[in-house]
């Protein structure tokens, strides 16, 4: 009996000792105090949770010993989160009141989930540690579904078979542009968005909402920060530096966010095949101010001045290429120089009015102006030879046979001025059972373009193409003076419905339409778009009674996406404008799903989408480096189809990583293209420069049919991975890896059917090592160090494996008509040091 009484006495203590969790219980109510039945209560880190009963009461087990975040949510209410640290066996009461969804002072778009809108959120803070020569937020798009980036010197990217001109880029709801005359990545300089000033990045690879504009591929939506306290960042590296300052004044009614950037690519360009004196200097200054005139009226201003200067005096170039059994060397000695200058001015004024808790009205006006000049006169004397590859020979690695010798002369004096004025209005209204949005805008576009460029190729003292007269025949010449003025007017309306079915099961529909009219060609287009999302609310109940949320979502999206042409699509190869040009059209169909789950008690997300885009009224184009040259006519139709998948999560707590893979085919068929095979008397096909008898006696017409689009990359794999040392969490490693199959290319003869060759496989690895020296304003520090929140030093290795990736090709023709394609390589392995401070 004495033993039994002792066991009963210690039983509660043994039970408490064995328990490895704490319990949080309470009641979930609304602002008026009414209980919220079936409210969701979730432990964010473990993705386990419970559903409140009919009286709003809940009881949730939370692991002990560390900090966990609990989230309370209910349909139509703003979710609430709180961090707790539970002791073993502890029971804590937390009663929660959820606020109704209102517009308030927060951005109304942020209240809708990504699953409803199809827009992916990207953390802009990762841009500072992403080991990329770009240094901009565009580097974060590598690894997003459907995105292909193959040039570390350019912010350009293609999405699911489209070129960069098919992508929408917004900053604070205003569409922004990149330079028009840029033909190579080293000329481009800084892109518009400043990473230090950004609060939110959203991206969609297709099937996007009607509130976004008229382009066929993707949307990158960026919003700058509206600060509430004083803060700033400073960065210095071998590639340049930046400084950003933000603050709130006048009882936080006045806010400013200002950033300055300086960049030089001299470190990157100096290691290429072409040696010379490079002077690339890119600077920009941006500022964003907001002021609360009243509690419900805000005035904002965004201003930018950007200056890009690029000059080079090339000296010589040596490129080795080809297989081992036929290794070739291309050597050029240069005379002359190149200078390009891009100046951009931008200003935007907006007024936001919160008319009641459910209505937000935005009024906006902006002005954009760019002045661009491109001047170069460069002569190159080249020699193409075959290398000795017999390792036993004394001439191993030297040129033993000349395949071509000649001279080329490239000349250009181009100037472009573009001015765009925009006025716009947008509205957002929260209705009892739906969310309504609308907008109208008008743009005035004025473009003036002076073109004067020509090329001369002389091979072994013969002008190519051959000239039998006294005048010198140029291989290429273009001279024109163009001017285009037009007005675009557009409008859209869309609404969102959501139906709750209990137990976290819901449906949502986003449906809308937009229309645009362009005065230049008199065309009006209309684009209906819709997205259906289903969240089944699947859950798994463990034997212990714990509910695990099996968080799946499925969606179907589609619509009609027109892309009215801008200036470059209108201009043809001969330097004239086509007033009969029409908008390109694409029909999108997307089917996708995602799932949130846990690995190592950390959240991960798997997403996948299958898509098909049927396109017509296409304007064919050719790509040289990053320069896009359009045919200026709607004479093609085509399609793009593929599957994308992405895994994102935190392999290390609080540190994001992701990996994506995409498989795609993008084809087009030009309606009026054809060519002839020519045959000699022996019946052999005549190949210029190869066939001995080149006298044609017969021919056969060939219609090529579908051919790859210039962006037809069949497979793309990208990964951004971050890790840290187990015992030294302030030491981190950041890795970028990209793999892509070859892109189509062809000789520079403006025959699209000939662009069916493939570039080499693209492979690139960039790595960075970061060490934190100061953090969280350490009280043990003194002087200036006490004012620093964080101080990081990063060492970066670009193109770690030193792989020669091809961006374009230089073509050499001898007097027999035989053409040689010499690859133009991107940057080799380079090293960079970067110091970043937050204060």
Whether 817 shows a pLDDT value over 90: the answer reads no
Could you give the percent of the chain with pLDDT greater than 90? 53
Q: How far apart are CA 680 and CA 691, in angstroms?
A: 9
Instruction: Give the residue with greater pLDDT, 388 vs 610.
Output: 610
Helix ranges (H only) for 465-505 are none
pLDDT at residue 19, rounded to an integer: 41
Say whether pLDDT at 163 is over 50.
Answer: yes
pLDDT computed for residue 470 by the predictor:
58
Residue 660 pLDDT > 90: yes
Q: What is the pLDDT of residues 787-807, one digit of tens each?
A: 788 899 999 999 999 999 999
Whether 302 has a pLDDT exceeding 50, the answer reads: yes
- Structure confidence at residue 390 (pLDDT): 80
At residue 614, the pLDDT reads 97
Provide mean pLDDT across the span 359-380: 95
Residue 160 phi, psi (nearest 5):
50, 50
Looking at 140-154, 314-328, 410-424, 560-574, which range is the least confident one? 314-328
User: Per DSSP, what are the bridge partners of residue 584?
Assistant: 563
* Nearest of 298, 294, 303, 292 to residue 258 by alpha carbon: 303
Residues 261/230, Cβ–Cβ less than 8 Å: no
Q: How much of the chain exceeds pLDDT 70, in percent?
A: 90
Q: Which residue has the tokens 């010499």?
A: 822
Give residue 32's pLDDT band: very low, low, confident or very high (50, 70, 90). low
Distance CA 824, CA 821 (A): 9
Per-residue confidence band for 551, with pLDDT thresholds at 50, 70 and 90: confident
pLDDT tens figures, 186-206: 888 889 999 999 988 999 999
Note whether 168 and 220 are within 8 A (CB): yes
Better-predicted residue by pLDDT, 334 or 785:
334
**Predicted confidence band at 491 (pLDDT cuts at 50, 70, 90)?**
very high
The model's pLDDT over 735-748, given as tens digits with 9 standing for 90+, comes to 999 999 999 999 88
How far apart are alpha carbons 697 and 683 in whole angstroms?
9
Residue 464 above 80 pLDDT?
Answer: no
pLDDT over threshold 90, residue 108: no
Distance of CA 695 to the CA centre of its chain: 51
pLDDT, mean over the chain? 87
Among 249-258, 362-371, 766-775, 811-820, the range scoring the smallest mean pLDDT is 811-820
Give the residue carrying structure tokens 């709607």.
Answer: 634
pLDDT at 593 > cutoff 50: yes
């Amino acid at each position: 009996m004495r033993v039994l009484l002792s066991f009963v006495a210690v039983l509660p203590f043994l039970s408490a000792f064995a328990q490895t969790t704490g319990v949080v219980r309470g009641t979930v109510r609304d602002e008026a105090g009414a209980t919220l039945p079936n409210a969701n209560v979730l432990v964010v880190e473990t993705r386990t949770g419970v559903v409140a009963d009919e009286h709003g009461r809940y009881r949730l087990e939370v692991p002990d010993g560390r900090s966990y975040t609990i989230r309370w949510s209910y349909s139509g209410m703003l979710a609430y989160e709180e961090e707790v640290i539970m002791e073993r066996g502890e029971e804590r009461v937390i009663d929660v009141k959820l606020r109704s969804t209102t517009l308030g002072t927060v951005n109304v778009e942020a209240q809708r989930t990504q699953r409803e809108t199809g827009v992916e959120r990207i953390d802009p803070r990762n841009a500072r540690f992403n080991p990329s020569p770009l240094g901009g937020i565009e580097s974060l798009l590598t690894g997003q579904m459907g995105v292909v980036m193959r040039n570390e010197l350019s912010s350009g990217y293609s999405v699911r078979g489209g070129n960069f001109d098919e992508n929408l880029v917004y900053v604070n709801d205003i569409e922004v542009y990149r330079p028009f005359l840029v033909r190579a990545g080293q000329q481009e300089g800084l892109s518009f968005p400043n990473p230090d000033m950004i609060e939110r990045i959203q991206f969609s690879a297709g099937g996007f909402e009607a509130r976004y504009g008229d382009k066929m591929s993707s949307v990158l939506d960026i919003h700058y920060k509206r600060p509430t306290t004083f803060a700033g960042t400073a960065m210095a590296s071998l590639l340049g530096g930046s400084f950003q300052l933000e603050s709130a004044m006048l009882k936080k009614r006045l806010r400013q966010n200002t950033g300055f950037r300086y960049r030089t690519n001299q470190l990157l360009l100096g290691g290429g095949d072409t040696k010379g004196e490079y002077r690339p200097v890119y600077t920009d200054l941006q500022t964003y101010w907001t002021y609360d005139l009243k509690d419900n009226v805000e005035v904002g201003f965004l201003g930018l001045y950007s200056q890009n200067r690029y000059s080079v005096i090339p000296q010589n170039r040596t490129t080795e290429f080809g297989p081992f059994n036929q290794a070739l060397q291309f050597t050029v000695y240069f005379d002359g120089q190149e200078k390009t200058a891009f100046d951009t001015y931008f200003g935007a004024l907006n007024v936001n009015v919160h008319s009641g808790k459910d209505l937000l009205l935005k009024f906006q006006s902006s002005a954009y102006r760019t002045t661009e000049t491109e001047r170069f006169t460069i002569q190159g004397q080249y020699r193409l030879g075959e290398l000795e590859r017999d390792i036993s020979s004394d001439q191993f690695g030297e040129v033993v046979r000349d395949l071509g010798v000649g001279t080329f002369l490239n000349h250009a004096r181009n100037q472009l001025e573009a001015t765009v004025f925009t006025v716009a209005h947008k509205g957002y209204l929260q209705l009892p059972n739906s969310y309504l949005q609308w907008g109208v805008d008008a743009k005035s576009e004025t473009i003036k373009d002076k073109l004067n460029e020509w090329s001369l190729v002389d091979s072994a003292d013969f002008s190519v193409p051959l000239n039998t007269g006294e005048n010198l025949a140029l291989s290429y010449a273009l001279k024109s003076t163009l001017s285009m003025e037009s007005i675009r007017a557009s409008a859209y309306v869309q609404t969102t419905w959501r139906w709750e079915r209990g137990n976290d099961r819901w449906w949502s529909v986003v449906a809308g339409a937009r229309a645009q009219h362009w005065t230049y060609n008199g065309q009006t287009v209309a684009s209906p778009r819709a997205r259906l999302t289903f969240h089944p609310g699947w859950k798994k109940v463990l034997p212990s009674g714990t509910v695990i949320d099996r968080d799946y979502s499925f969606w179907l999206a589609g619509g009609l996406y027109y892309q009215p042409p801008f200036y470059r699509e209108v201009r043809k190869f001969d330097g004239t404008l086509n007033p009969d040009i029409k908008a390109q059209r694409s029909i999108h169909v997307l089917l996708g799903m995602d799932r949130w789950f846990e690995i190592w008690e950390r959240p991960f997300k798997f997403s996948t989408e299958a898509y098909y885009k049927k396109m017509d009224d296409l304007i064919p184009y050719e790509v040289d480096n990053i320069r896009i040259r359009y045919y200026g006519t709607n004479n093609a139709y085509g399609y793009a189809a593929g599957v994308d998948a992405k895994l994102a999560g935190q392999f290390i707590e609080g540190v994001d990583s992701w990996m994506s893979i995409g498989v795609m085919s993008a084809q087009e068929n030009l309606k009026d293209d054809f060519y002839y095979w020519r045959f000699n008397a022996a019946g052999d096909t005549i190949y210029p420069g190869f066939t001995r008898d080149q006298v044609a006696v017969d021919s056969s017409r060939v219609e090529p049919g579908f051919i790859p689009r210039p962006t037809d990359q069949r497979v793309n794999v990208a990964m951004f991975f971050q890790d840290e040392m187990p015992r030294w969490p302030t030491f981190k490693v950041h890795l970028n890896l990209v793999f892509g199959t070859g892109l189509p290319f062809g000789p520079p003869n403006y025959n699209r059917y000939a662009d069916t060759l493939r570039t080499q496989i693209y492979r690139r690895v960039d790595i960075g090592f970061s060490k934190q020296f100061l953090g969280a304003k350490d009280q043990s520090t003194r002087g200036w160090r006490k004012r620093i929140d964080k101080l990081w030093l990063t060492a970066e290795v670009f193109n770690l494996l030193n792989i020669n990736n091809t961006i374009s090709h230089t073509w050499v023709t001898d007097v027999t008509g035989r053409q040689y394609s010499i690859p133009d390589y991107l940057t080799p392995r380079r090293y960079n040091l970067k110091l970043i401070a937050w204060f």
